[in-house]
Homo-oligomer: A and B are copies of this chain.
Amino acid sequence: MKVTINDVAKLAGVSMKTVSRVINKEPSVRKKTYDLVMSAVNELNYQPNIAARNLAGTSSFAIGLVYDNPNAYYVIDMQNGVLSRCKDEGYELVIHPCSYLDDNMQDEFKTMIKRSRLAGLVLTPPLSEQQSIIDMLDELGVQYVRLLSGRESDISERNNCILVNDFAAAYEITEHLISLGHKRIAFVLGDKEHKSTSERLAGYHQALQDHHIESSDDLLYEGSYSFESGVNGAKELLKNGNPNKITAILGGNDEVAAGALFAARLMNIDIPSELSITGFEDSPFSRQTWPKLTTAHQANDVISEHAARLLFSKARGSRKQDKDIKTTFTPSIVIRESTGPAK
């Protein structure tokens, strides 16, 4: 019934260990031997037993994806990206959602890691930004790759980070609005603990400054990355102070932008003739609102796939960086119907 490495060895007329070498692509196996073993593997349709490999080997054949993000689209994309890489490498993926606000989390997390002896971890924001987590992982000696919002320049330990340049994305979006004649551009910010929030804000500020438009704090709403926050932020921004002056709103992400759109509807403000709204990320969301959102495309599945690549490359202990691995991603603007000329 179940085929073991011994069966393959017997059929190929070599030792167990040689089969092991072949399936692990270890060097110093003669081509002839390699082919011999492989044909036995195929003939018997041999599948190495993961549990045994995990037990016997120094590291396991599974990596973990750790996230604390309520956005379903985001998580799924991340997951699929990592998963596709895992499949290619013959690894398993262990999913670990965890709330970084939860005090027990760190313990539980530690337990999880000890139990499953993962080969490595992919950390997504905002968890990837938590120094306490990083410290713990370093202490435990666990490999990890962090997905971070940032620019190439400002991260020191580049070799285990994948960067998303939210600064550039925000700059581009803001510039797009400016080119449409907007001057009073508001921003409904995401959670302020998230690095992406400050990066996007910085990009926005830089664009304004470069175009000699003065920024003002009453154009900012400190919200969170949620639909509701978008609703509330837009309501607040549009009612307060100089309602008529604001001609464009940057949503912290697509959900926020969708919320802003919702609020505009409530207030009978037409989009885009009276107000332009933009998002970030280009989640399916942005194509399902009315009107469709101008946003910055961020291929989360591709990004996470590269994170997994990097992790495997590190796990293999290859010193030199794999050329196929891209470690910096810059979202690019997608112009749809939610933005138009300033009136």
Give the residues in chain B near A115, CB-CB below 8 Å: 47-50, 90
A287 at the interface (CB under 8 A from B): yes
Q: Which of A80, A92, A117, A255 has the most CB of B within 10 A?
A: A92
Known: A114-B47, A117-B51. A284 touches B72 (CB 8 A): yes
Known: A115-B49, A290-B262, A290-B265. A95 touches B72 (CB 8 A): no
- A92–B72 touching, CB < 8 Å: no
- A60–B55 touching, CB < 8 Å: no
Shortest C-beta distance, A65 to chain B (Å), equals 9
A315 at the interface (CB under 8 A from B): no
- Measured between alpha carbons, how far is A54 from B95 in the docked complex, in Å? 18
- A55–B49 touching, CB < 8 Å: yes
Q: Determine chain A's interface SS by DSSP, over half rule.
A: helix
Give the residues in chain B near A90, CB-CB below 8 Å: 115
Give the residues in chain B near A262, CB-CB below 8 Å: 288, 290
Give the residues in chain B near A227, CB-CB below 8 Å: 284, 287-288
A5 at the interface (CB under 8 A from B): no
Shortest C-beta distance, A227 to chain B (Å), equals 5
A83 at the interface (CB under 8 A from B): yes
Give the residues in chain B near A94, CB-CB below 8 Å: 92-94
Give the residues in chain B near A54, CB-CB below 8 Å: 50-51, 54-55
Residue of B83, B111, B114, B117 near A95 (CB, 8 A) is B83
A75 at the interface (CB under 8 A from B): yes
Contact mask A65-81 → B, CB, 8 Å, 1/0?
00000001101110110
Give the residues in chain B near A261, CB-CB below 8 Å: 290
- A97–B80 touching, CB < 8 Å: yes
Known: A95-B83, A95-B93, A258-B288. A116 touches B50 (CB 8 A): yes
Shortest C-beta distance, A258 to chain B (Å), equals 6
A52 at the interface (CB under 8 A from B): yes
A251 at the interface (CB under 8 A from B): no
Residue of B51, B76, B117 near A75 (CB, 8 A) is B76
Give the residues in chain B near A114, CB-CB below 8 Å: 2, 47
A190 at the interface (CB under 8 A from B): no
- A79–B55 touching, CB < 8 Å: no
Shortest C-beta distance, A336 to chain B (Å), equals 13
Give the residues in chain B near A284, CB-CB below 8 Å: 72, 227
Give the residues in chain B near A287, CB-CB below 8 Å: 227
A259 at the interface (CB under 8 A from B): yes
Shortest C-beta distance, A251 to chain B (Å), equals 13
Besides A50-B117, A72-B77, 10 new A-B residue pairs in contact (Cβ under 8 A), listed by A number: A48-B115, A51-B55, A80-B97, A83-B95, A93-B95, A95-B95, A227-B287, A255-B288, A258-B288, A261-B290
27 A-B contact pairs sorted by A residue (CB < 8 Å):
A2-B114, A47-B114, A48-B115, A49-B117, A50-B117, A51-B51, A51-B52, A52-B55, A54-B55, A72-B73, A72-B77, A75-B76, A76-B76, A79-B95, A80-B97, A83-B95, A83-B97, A92-B94, A92-B116, A93-B94, A93-B95, A95-B95, A227-B284, A227-B287, A258-B288, A265-B290, A290-B290
Top 10 nearest A-B pairs (CB, nearest first) are A51-B54, A72-B76, A51-B55, A72-B72, A47-B114, A72-B73, A265-B290, A47-B115, A227-B288, A55-B55
